[in-house]
Structure formats: C-alpha cells, structure tokens
Structure 1
Amino acid sequence: MTAHHLTLPSISAVPTVTGNQMNHGELYRLAKVWTIAIPLISYSYYFTSKIPKGIPRLLALFPVLFIFLLLPLNLRSFHLCGPTAFFLSWLGNFKLLLFAFDLGPLFSSPLPSFLHFAATLCLPIKINNNKSQIHRIGNPMVLCLKVLLLAIVVRLYDYQNRMHPAIVSVLYFLHLYLGVEIVLALCSLPAKAIFGAPMEPQFDEPYLSSSLQDFWSRRWNLMVPSILRPAVYDPTRMITSRIFGRRRAQLVGMVATFVVSGFMHELIFYYFTRAPPTWEVSSFFVLHGFCMAAEVAAKAALAWPSNIHPMLSRPTCLFFLMVTARWLMLPPLIRNGVVDEAIGEYYATAHFFKSKFILFL
C-alpha cells in the first residue's frame, strides 16, 4: 500500500463512542495482568539473582520472559494494552536479558531494594544526573501545555473530512508524539517519589532533529536506544568487527539494532490489531536502519550531512520521517481500526469525567 492509496478513516461518529474497551472489565483485566506480573518480578529479584550469571540465570528467567510476552494479550484497549506491552514485553524483557549477564539498569552490586528493582524493571525511567536539565524536566507547565495540545488535536479529528489527507496524517503524528510523551512523563512521577531524584526525559524535542542519527539516538524515546545499545548494538559490533573491521561493524550494529526494533514494533502492533503481521512496520525500521547507516558513513567520508544548515536539515529529516511513516506505519493501524479505537477512547474518557463532574455539581 503506497501513500497515495492510504485511505484515512472517517471519525464523524466518534463523539457517540461508548468506550466499551475502557469499561470496568478492561480495568479488571489490567489489574489481573499486574497481579501476575508482581510475583514474576519478585521471582526475578529474590530467586534468579542468586543464580550465576550467564546461561543458567537466563534459563531461570525464561518463564518470566515468556509470560511477559503473553500478558498484553489480555488487554484490548489501546491506552492500556500499549503501555503494558511496551513496559513488560519490550523494555522489561530486554532489561531482564541484560540482567541475566549482570548488565543493564537492573544490575548493581549489591542489588538495590526490591522496590527500586521493580520500578526500574516496569517503568521506562533513568535517574537524571544532569542538574542543568532538572528545571526543564520538572516543569509541570510544559506537560500541561502538551496535554492541552493533544486535546486540540483530538478535537480537530471532527473536521478531518474537510482537510487534505496529508494534514490529517500530521495530526496522527502529533497524536502519536504527544500521547507517548505524556504517558512516559506521567510514569516518571511515581518513580521520582520512589527514587527521590528527577528522571531523565524520554524525549528531547524530536521535532528539532537535524538527521536520522540525531532523531533516533538523541531525541526520540531515549529509553529504547539506551536498552538496545548494550543488548544488540554492542555485541553485534564486537562480533562483526573481527570480520568487517571496526568502522563497518559499527554500521552492521546499527542495522541489526533497527531490525530488532522493527520486530518489537511488529509485536506491539500485533497486540493492538490482533491481525497477522504484514511486516510493514518492520520494513519501516529496516529502511531507517540502512538510511541511518548510510548517513553515518557519509558523515565519516564526506563531512555530510553534518555541515548542512539546520534550516534545511531539520525539515528534510522530518519530511522523510513522516513520508516513510505514512507509507509503512500508519496503514496497519488505520486498516485494523486502531486509530478509530484510540480516538474513541479519548472521547469516552472525556464523557466519563464530564458526567462525573455534572453529578458532583
């Protein structure tokens, strides 16, 4: 499916959504998922940490890794299934894989308290040691403004039939960025209380990215590269450097990291859609892996594109990201009704709080 044949959904009926996906049954299933997850986390902390690192500990953790992959299948709501899948099936499993070899954020000598271990395992958090960022990160006004902007974006969907499809796609991208950043920012609040320290931001103004390397490595969802780097990139580069040399091994490591990220995104999309994978999402990340490797190679050989003025490099980077995402990432979500469900959940939640407010008055 090409961008020219991308059919955007009609959401004219969204205000009448009743929110079946967000009912008490879904909240009960969410509680059930985390009721199962907590004993598994306890097992990882109290039992597997006593097993020698390496294959023996990895085998002991295998039941946890497997069950973490299954738990999101109990949920269907976009806003409950998505974060649960990201926290447990993706980040949680990769953190445990690193922990099996005494690596990653879960490992320290001696081990932290169970509460610290569980929070680090379940939440996309990292303690911020850069004092210059504390004020910017902890500014609640910025978060409130982004919540307001997300509400405006969702409301604009009512008028999408009057908009050009490209404009609607931009709304989808804003929706994705704001939704993910707000959820991750909210997750840092309990972590801040637990750790007594500010958390590093998960995003660093990705709309200012001047290159693919800048976007994926330094600005977008920074917990993911911080986990994939030691789990995929470093071992791949170390192994292939004996065959290809250090510089080429770096490029192979980049592509391998994007391949793994593509598979994990394909899994997340399966949790959303429950439809057989079409590998469009994986293709998006593989494409970006090769393009980023080519970009890094060009920088090393030609001092390009690092010498391009930001006024040109930033819009070019964003344009490439949006065009490839509209081509390969949006179609599975639109085709399987995930976009309609996500927007419907916003309206259902707003209706719920509005009705409670009226009863309170």
Structure 2
Amino acid sequence: MDEELKSLIKVWISAIISISYCYYIPPRIKSGVPRLCSLCPVLALFLVLPLCFSSVHLSLITAFFLTWLANFKLILFSFDKGPLIPLPPSLSRFICFTCFPIKAQQNPKSQNHMPKLVFAIKVAIFGVLLHLYGYRKNLSPALLLALYFVHLYLEIEIILSFIKNVVCIFLGCDLEPQSNKPYLATSLQDFWGRRWNLMVPAILRPAVYAPMRRVSERRMSSGWALFPGILAAFIVSGLVHELLFFYLTREMPTWEVTMFFVLHGVCTAVELAVKKKTTVIQRWQLSPVVSRLLTVGFVIVTGGWLFTPQLIRASLSYRLLKSLLINF
C-alpha cells in the first residue's frame, strides 16, 4: 500500500503539471494540427500512467479519468471543440473539467434531498453486496454474475457521485449529473445516449459521430448518414474499453468487448431505422414497463455473454473485491 500511495501521488502530480501546461501553452497555438502536436506528449503520458499501479481500482480510475476522458477532451480542445471550449476561467476548473466526467450546469435548478437519499440507498445496497460475497461459494454462477453487474454499476455510481460532490464544493458551482437512472431506459438509444455515463456520449458525438456523419453525407442522404456515425462511435467506445480492460488484466485483448459495443451499435441503428417507420411504431408500440425490461434485460444478457468473460477469466471479480477490502 505504501508503494501504491507513492505511485498515486507521483501520477497525479504529473497529471496536474501536464494539464497546467495544456491550460497555459496550447491555447496560444493555432487550433487544429499545430495545437494537437503541442498536446501529443501529454496524450502519450496519459496512456502510460495507469500502468504505474498494481491495484485494480487505482489503475481503472486513472485510466478512465486520464486515458479516456482527459485524452479525448484534449483532442477535441485541439480543434476548439468539446467541453473545454470556451476555456474555463481558472486553472482549477480546467483541471477538474479535463479529468473528471463533469460539466458545469448551464441552468442550475433547485436541489432537493432525493439525490442524497438515493445515494445513501446505493451505498447501503453496495454494503449488503460486499457481505454476500462472503457466501459466494454457495451462490449459483448466474446469481454471482448478476451480483457482479450490480457491483460494477454501484461502484461506478458511488465513486462518480462522490467526486462530483467534492468538486462541486471545491469549485462552488452546480454540475450536471453523470447519469440519469439508466435502469429506467426504454430503448438502447435512450440508455446509451441519454442515461448511461452522460459525459461519454457528450465526447463521442463531436469526436466521432459528427465527423463520420459529415463524411457519410457525401455518399448518402443525411437521413441515412447517421447510421455510420452511430456504428463508428460504438466501435471507438469498444476499442477504448479494450484498452481499459488491458490496464485491468494486463492481458492482450480478445475483442469480445469490442463485439459487445458493435452489437449494441448495430441494434441501436436498427432501432432508429424502425422508429423512422411511424406505422410500425404505432402498430408495435410497447408499454414503458415492457420496454424497460427488454432494454435492461438485453444489456445484462449481452453483457454476460460478451462483456464479462474476459474479466472472469482474469479472476477480476476476486481481485476487485480483494483490492476494495484492502483499500477501504
């Protein structure tokens, strides 16, 4: 733990210095390829930093914040796009908005106590889940897989909510939510585009979807050009997740995770194509309850088929639990 703590301090000092450089120097350089070239050393560094940890949690968190979010935001920043444009008024805001899945709320709304209550419920459920792992030898493989999905979801939600609240207090501003009750999604488009990990689609739209759609419009109508854009965004997301899995397992990718996102990209594109046929929608419109069950069920089933096998082979669930108990 002492070595991991030293690595944590070194990594984040390096990250803060690098992002400070990005705040002061590249904005003075012409946007486009020249600015991107000035950021290349930082982008390369952020690819290496997650390898400094042996802890699963620290490696995953660093990879998500720096390799995934920061790198994509800085690439968009090179072309005067993305959440870092316009340039935040202070270095502290620039660092926070670069690393974390947060964005300043444009129209702040009055807050109620329900989010705090929901957060407390999630923490309580997570505690019960950790207790159940003590009886994992007596649980069926299917139930263990379901618990693993809930574990991943709750851990991500708890960590991101905690970071959001800390940053909100530090910056003194209202921040947009990271997710919007993904378990209530009524379609794949709703799940991936409007509810799950909202910062990711906010980055992929200008970075992948929009450029691919513009290129596709040269060869097909604008109505159909959105489909290559959707597939490209899901493929890039799959490749990034393969990289994250490499940081976790330190094993070569098997491409099952990429296939998971390709499958969901194809299904989302088919879903949108069906929605274009208004007569089909009117004839086969399902109730919200059924739509939610089908959507969440499809995500869980395909996740168990393609998303988790590599993690299970690497005994990552055990390593996650062991790391969590050691760290906390």
TM-score bucket (shorter structure)? over 0.9
Q: Are 2:197 and 1:221 aligned?
A: yes
Residue segments in structure 1 that go unaligned for 5+ positions in a row: 1-22, 351-361
Equivalent-residue separation in structure 2 for 1:349 and 1:275 (angstroms): 24
Name the count of aligned residue pairs.
326
Equivalent in 103, 106, 116 of residue 93 of structure 2: 116
Q: Which runs of 4+ in 1 moved over 6 A?
A: none
1:210, CA displacement in angstroms? 1.1
Partner of 1:157: 133
Q: Provide closer, same or farther for how the CA distance between residues 56 and 190 of structure 1 changes in structure 2, counting only shifts above 3 A.
A: same
* Separation of aligned partners in 2, 1:180 and 1:253: 27
Map of 1:307 onto structure 2: 285
Query: Is 1:241 aligned with 2:229?
Result: no
1:170 is matched with which residue?
146
Aligned counterpart in structure 2 of residue 64 of structure 1, from 25, 35, 42: 42
State the Cα deviation string for residues 105-144 of structure 1 (Å, max 9, x = none). Answer: 11216x521111111111111122344473367x333222
The alpha carbon displacement at 1:306 in A equals 8.0
Paired residues of 1:233 and 1:253 also in contact (CA < 8 A)? yes
Distance in structure 2 (CA, Å) of the matches to 1:285 and 1:305: 29
TM-score (norm 2): 0.95
Amino acid at match of 2:162: L
1:268 partner letter: L
Instruction: Determine helix, strand or coil for the equivalent of 1:244.
Output: coil
The separation in 1 between residues aligned to 2:148 and 2:300, in whole angstroms, is: 10
Which residue does the alignment assign to 2:230? 254
Other-structure match for 1:277: 253
Structure 2's unaligned 5+ residue stretches are: none
- Structure 1 segment 63-212 matched on structure 2, within 5 A: 63-108=41-86, 111-132=88-109, 134-135=111-112, 139-212=115-188
Q: Write the letter of the residue equivalent to 2:9.
A: A
Structure with larger RCO (C-alpha < 8 A, sep 6+): 1
Normalised by the length of structure 1, the TM-score is 0.86
**Which digits, 9 at most, give the CA deviation of each residue in 1:157-185, with x for residues without a partner?**
22233223222111111101100011111
CA distance in 2, matches of 1:319, 1:257: 22
Task: State the Cα distance separating 1:269 from its structure 2 match.
Answer: 0.3
Evaluate the alpha carbon distance shift between residue 306 and residue 47 of structure 1 in structure 2; reply closer, same or farther with a 3 A threshold: farther
